[in-house]
Structure 1
Amino acid sequence: MTFVSSSKDTHNLTFTLVTEFDAAKERVWDVWEDPRKLERWWGPPGWPATFGRHEFHPGGLCHYWMTGPDGEKAYGWWRFLAISPHDRLEIEDGFANEDGSPLDPEDSATFTVTFEEAGAGTRMTTVSAFRSLEQLERMAEMGMEEGMKEASGQIDAILAEAQAVR
């Protein structure tokens, strides 16, 4: 992965992460569509994810948890708002209870992931949009930027394996 940029925009209540991968859009897309691949990179190193539910279609729900080194679990949920294969995902997400239900339905955010050709590879841009400045700042304080960079940094290994199999 090549890290391109990250930025926090307090005026528009967004956080943006831009990365590039040495792989075609279809292969980068697959690390979102295939829940077993998604599990291998969604959590930052040391906090692997498990997707108990992964309904990859508009309106589909996901329930996942990340498990820390000491066994602590952090639960989350997603709802796919829009899916344009190999080009764009729009997802509502939030913290969840152990059963996958939203911890606080009013505390959700959305993120949009776009995939563009970049030379021989793919540029993946993730824009997280928040409901309030307080929510954006809270997520920043929780280490969202570093966590997203570290998590995205795990995608290259998955792409390399997929290439070796071909």
Structure 2
Amino acid sequence: MPVTDVLTDAENLTMTVIADFAAPIERVWNAYADPRQLERFWGPPGWPATFTAFDHTVGGRAQYTMAGPRGERSSGSWEFLEIDAPRGFAVIDSFVDDDGKPLEGFPAMRMTFAFEETADGTRMVNTSYFDSIESLEQVIQMGAIEGTRMAMAQIDAVLQDLRDYAQGKGTRVELLDDTHVRITRLVEGSRDLVWRAHHEPELMRQWLLGPDGWEMTECVVALAPGDAHRTSWAPVGDTPGEAFGFEGEAVLVDAPRRAVSTERMQGTDGPETLNDLNLYEEDGATLITLLIEYPDQETRDMILATGMADGMEASYARLEAGVLAG
């Protein structure tokens, strides 16, 4: 994880983030100077950012919106005060509404980003300056420290070519906190086709089967928010096991990039998870990222202990060798 420290200073009214990257200073600068790269890590997992404006000049403005998994929105803007490529820049960071107007009751702060070369790559020192202790405490209470750590943990996938970052590493499971798990898998194929493979029943039946010896017996796909989904599986022949299935509702659908849905075992009241699927394509390969929110740590550990990750890897391998290869 790139973040090495987050320091708050009540006397000087600052919050400082220190991060070390295994990449040259020019590569790190480009990640912050290109909105398409920046939006891949600026929002924490589950709250991806979209920059709708980015005038990267002194006096210019940038505006972004982070979209939560349940339809929540949080927007911000930068006014660029200084730009010194590739060594750093400074902005006024404000909470704004969808029209870019500052929100009442929320602090604006000056932020500086300083980049320096190190023996192993680049160190970033990001300092936010507040005008009162109340503003500093407000941002901390809003989860800025943990949110920053989780957001910055995504930058490695941006600084490396996608294949260098994920190819050959299979299905990776990361425990982000007590209730959030991030699962990633790189597959060779276009994002459009990977999206279709997740949302067209005839394609889903070819790969979304888990270990060998199972078949999909029911497949109802949710294509719009509020739609119900339902999927069932059963063992074939002498394969051990009992039929089971999941059901839930779509919460957000942004084809072919993102789909968020609830999920629970069929015929039960829970426990229910929130599954946030994101697809990112680079040079003909697609990174599948599934962020799962569990109701509590006990449920998280119970479900992971079922061998879920192994079953997902078997399915992803089948997806790549079958649907995407054809």
Secondary structure (helix, strand or coil) at the match of 2:139 reads helix
Structure 1 residues 157 and 77: CA distance shift in structure 2, 3 A: same
Consecutive unaligned residues of structure 1, counting only runs of 5 or more, are: none
CA RMSD, aligned part only?
A: 1.8
- Separation (CA, whole Å) in 2 of partners of 1:24 and 1:125: 15
Q: What letter corresponds to residue 117 of structure 1 in structure 2? A: E
Structure 1 residues 98 and 45: CA distance shift in structure 2, 3 A: same
- Separation (CA, whole Å) in 1 of partners of 2:2 and 2:111: 20
Which residue matches 1:37? 37
Check the 8 A contact 1:61/1:80 in 2, yes or no.
Answer: yes
Higher helix share: 1
Which residue matches 2:233? none
Which residue matches 1:62? 62
- Separation (CA, whole Å) in 2 of partners of 1:60 and 1:154: 27
Secondary structure (helix, strand or coil) at the match of 2:39 reads helix
Deviation at 1:163, TM superposition (A): 8.8
- Separation (CA, whole Å) in 1 of partners of 2:105 and 2:89: 20
- Separation (CA, whole Å) in 1 of partners of 2:6 and 2:93: 20
- Number of paired residues? 165
Secondary structure (helix, strand or coil) at the match of 1:40 reads coil
Deviation at 1:162, TM superposition (A): 6.9
Deviation at 1:105, TM superposition (A): 9.5
Which residue matches 1:74? 74
Deviation at 1:107, TM superposition (A): 2.9
Consecutive unaligned residues of structure 2, counting only runs of 5 or more, are: 165-281, 283-326
Runs of 4+ in structure 1 off by over 6 angstroms are none
Deviation at 1:104, TM superposition (A): 3.9
Deviation at 1:51, TM superposition (A): 0.5
Q: Which has the larger radius of gyration?
A: 2
Structure 1 residues 163 and 14: CA distance shift in structure 2, 3 A: farther
- Provide TM-score, normalisation by structure 2: 0.49
- Separation (CA, whole Å) in 1 of partners of 2:63 and 2:156: 24
Which residue matches 1:15? 15
- Separation (CA, whole Å) in 2 of partners of 1:134 and 1:125: 23
Structure 1 residues 162 and 23: CA distance shift in structure 2, 3 A: farther
- Separation (CA, whole Å) in 2 of partners of 1:92 and 1:162: 32
- Provide TM-score, normalisation by structure 1: 0.94
Which residue matches 1:121? 121
- Separation (CA, whole Å) in 2 of partners of 1:5 and 1:120: 17
Secondary structure (helix, strand or coil) at the match of 2:70 reads coil
Higher RCO (C-alpha 8 Å, min separation 6): 1
Check the 8 A contact 2:67/2:73 in 1, yes or no.
Answer: yes
Which residue matches 1:134? 134
